[in-house]
Structure 1
Amino acid sequence: MRRLIISLAAGFLSCVYYLCRLFPTRRRIVCITRADNAAPLDFTLIRTWLAEHEPSWEVTVLAKPTVNPLSYLFEMLRETYYIATSRAVVIERICIVVSLLGDRIAAPVIQIWHAVGNMKKFGYTVVDTPEGHSSEVMELTRMHTGYDAVAISSMDFREQFAAGFNVDPAIIFEAPLPRVDLFRDPVHRERQRRAVREAYPALADGRPVIVYCPTYRKDVPANQHEAMERLLAAVDFDRYHFVFKPHPLSRLIFDDPRVITIAGTSPDALYAADYVISDYSTVIYEAGLLGVPVYLYAYDWDTYNEKRGFNFDISHEVPTLFTDDAATIIAAIDEGSFDHDAYARFMARNVTLPAEGTCTEQMCRRLIAFAERDSLS
């Protein structure tokens, strides 16, 4: 039954798409996300740069989460219209309409993904695993089909991304996300740091700020509660502020008045960090761009690694402390034992910055090239 419903939906969308193709194609790039009701920062930066430097290009951002299936049905029809009448389609995660229409889409579809850097396996490399989708779902929804190009932060991950998206490695190009520019901009960093402190005045008393940014886990680890208790017990709250930045999908909550929880990106807690504790999250790249020491609290490494899998051995190849002992991490913070030079070299391998100009400019130039059907360099 599910297969029939999806087939009917794909056929219906195809009919709508071809009807919409009768309308004039505009000099427009449409950017689509289902992560939130607001435009992702990368889409906002793309739209702003093109408005300033290439005003002949219109940018439309469609942002609608898939919370309500009925309302999202109407959003799918809207997306179909814009896909049919735009010169290029940009997505930053799975887009149901793109997957169902697939190769029927005449405009180039560019997947820029949503994470700075990469380390975890995803997509087709985690099919039928606890952290991935089933092969049946992947087949029925035609997940990650229809891409003409895929942007990655470093060609070191070309083969892994090709496998994850099940695409030809030849369509992958190197271009870090536009928001990388903001992490590297000292003026923006200081402005955002002030914004966090203004929103949370307690952070302005001079104590260093430890920000804890764990990755999302589909299943709650059996030892999570104990691990969080050990982490809080290790922190000297007279010396440090402890800020929790939850993953948008996380169910983890700290029921402790000493912990300051700052969700989302307005303001972004990461800018207030003097130290970052993470685990298997690509936030370690964002912290690296900010020049903030990173420590990895891998309290469930054995089970998570078995469920998910990684593109490289982060327990040895990320040049920082990797441990399941919270007290050891806090001791390292106390001692200031972090190799900034080694981490900078790690960052250079994983996020390749453009030789000239900004990441935003580089991305926008490539999008225009695809929209105009220019040959890839």
Structure 2
Amino acid sequence: MRKLIISLAAGFLAIVYKICQLFPTRRRIVCITRKKGAPPVDFTLIRDWCAAHKPEWDVVILAKSTANPLSYFFEMLRETYYIATSRAVVIERICIVVSLLGDRIAAPVIQIWHAVGNMKKFGYTVVDTPEGHSSEVMELTRMHTGYDAVAISSMDFREQFAAGFNVDPAIIFEAPLPRVDLFRDPVHREQQRRAVQEAYPALADGRSVIVYCPTYRKDVPANQHEAMERLLAAVDFSRYHLVFKPHPLSHLAFDDPRVITIAGTSPDALYAADYVISDYSTVIYEAGLLGVPVYLYAYDWDAYNEKRGFNFDISHEVPTLFTDDAAAIIAAIDEGSFDHDAYARFMARNVTLPAEDTCTAQMCRKVIAFAERSRAKNRHTI
């Protein structure tokens, strides 16, 4: 039954797309996301850069969560219209309409993904695993089909990204996400740090700020409660604030008044961090761009590694403390034992910054270049 429903949906969208193609194609880039909340900052940066430097290009952002299936059905029709009448389509995670329409889409589809850097296996490399989708779902939804180009922060991960998206490696190009510019801008960093402190005045009392931002886990680890208790016991709250930045999909919460929870990116708790504790999250790259010491609290490493899998051995290749001992992490913070130079070299391998342009300008120029090419599909040329 599910297969029939999805086939009917794909056929219906194909008809709608053909009808929408009767309308004029505009010099427009449409950016589409299913992300909850505000539009992704990468999209707003693309829109703002084009408005300032390429005003002849209109940028439209379509941001709608799939939480309400009925309202999202009408959003899918809207997305189909904009895909049919725009010169380029940019997405930063799975887009149902793009997957269902696939090769029918005449405009180039550029997948810029939503994570700074790369770490965990995803997509087709985790099919039928506890942390991935089933092969049946991947096949039925045609997940990650229809891409003409895929952006990546470093070509060191081209083969892994190609495998994850199930695409030809030749369509992958190197361009870090636009928001990398914000992490590297000292003026923006200071403005955002003040914004966090204004929203949470306690953070301006002189104590150092430790931000804990773990990755999302589909299943709650058996030792999670114990691990959080150990972390709380290790922190000297007379010297440090502990700020919890939860993953958007996570249900983890601290029932402790000493912990300040700051969800989302407005304000973004990372900008207030003096130290970051994470685990297997690509937030370690964002912290690296901010120049903040990073420590990895891997209290469920064996189980998570078996369920998910990684593109490299983070337990040895990330140049920082990797441990299941919360007290050891706080001791390292107390001692200031973090090798900034080694971490900078690690960052350079994983996030390749443009020599001259900003990351936003580089991405926008790439997208416009795709849009200006022939509308005929050519998946083997970048």
TM range (shorter): over 0.9
Q: Distance in 1 between matches of 2:19 and 2:125?
A: 36
| 1:297 Cα deviation after fit | 0.1
How big is the shift at 1:181?
Answer: 0.2
- Partners of 1:151 and 1:65 in 2: CA distance: 23
1:194-224 deviation line (CA, Å, top 9, x unaligned): 0000000000011000000000000000000
d(CA) in 2 for partners of 1:36 and 1:62? 12
Runs of 4+ in 1 over 2 A off after TM superposition: none
1:357 Cα deviation (Å)?
1.4
* Number of equivalenced pairs: 375
Within a 5 Å distance, the mapping from 1:1-377 to structure 2 comes to: 1-373=1-373
Deviation readout 1:38-90 (Å, 9 max, x if unpaired): 21100000000000000000000000000011110000000000000000000
CA deviation string 1:117-139 (max 9, x = no partner): 00000000000000000000000
Query: Distance in 1 between the 2:236 and 2:364 partners?
Result: 46
Cα distance in 1 for residues equivalent to 2:357 and 2:82: 30
Shift of 1:37: 4.2
Change (3 A) 1:81 1:37: farther
Q: What secondary structure is seen at the aligned counterpart in 2 of 1:3?
A: helix
**1:166-210 CA distances to partner (integer Å, 9 max, x unpaired)?**
000000000000000000000000000000000000000110000
Give the drift of 1:313: 0.1
CA 1:74–1:37: 2 relative to 1, 3 Å:
farther
TM superposition shift of 1:332? 0.1
> What secondary structure, in the 3-state scheme, does the structure 1 residue paired with 2:125 have?
helix
**Structure 1 counterpart SS, 2:162:** helix
What is the deviation of 1:26? 0.4
Give the 3-state SS of the residue equivalent to 1:256 in structure 2: coil
Provide the rounded CA distance (Å) in 2 between the counterparts of 1:167 and 1:10. 21
Task: Report the secondary structure of 2:252's partner residue.
Answer: coil
Residue ranges of structure 2 left out of the alignment (5+ in a row): 375-381
Aligned counterparts of 2:306 and 2:33: Cα–Cα separation in 1: 30
Question: CA offsets per residue over residues 1-54 of structure 1, 9 Å max, x none?
Answer: 100000000000000000000000000000000012421100000000000000
Identity over the aligned pairs, expressed in percent? 90
Per-residue CA deviation, residues 210-257 of structure 1 (Å, 9 max, x unaligned), is 000000000000000000000000000000000000000010000000
SS in 2 for 1:356: coil
> Displacement, 1:115?
0.2
Q: Greater shift after overlay, 32-41 or 154-163? A: 32-41
Q: Partners of 1:372 and 1:206 in 2: how far apart?
A: 52
**Aligned partners of 1:370, 1:30: CA distance in 2, in Å?**
13
> How big is the shift at 1:307?
0.2
Unaligned runs of 5+ in 1: none
Separation of aligned partners in 2, 1:36 and 1:325? 34
Shift of 1:286: 0.1
Q: CA deviation at 1:288?
A: 0.1
Distance apart, 1:161 and its partner CA? 0.1
Other structure's SS at 2:195 match: helix
Q: Secondary structure at the match of 2:286?
A: helix
* Structure 1 Cα separation of the partners of residues 63 and 298 of structure 2: 34
Distance 1:233 1:309 in 2: 30
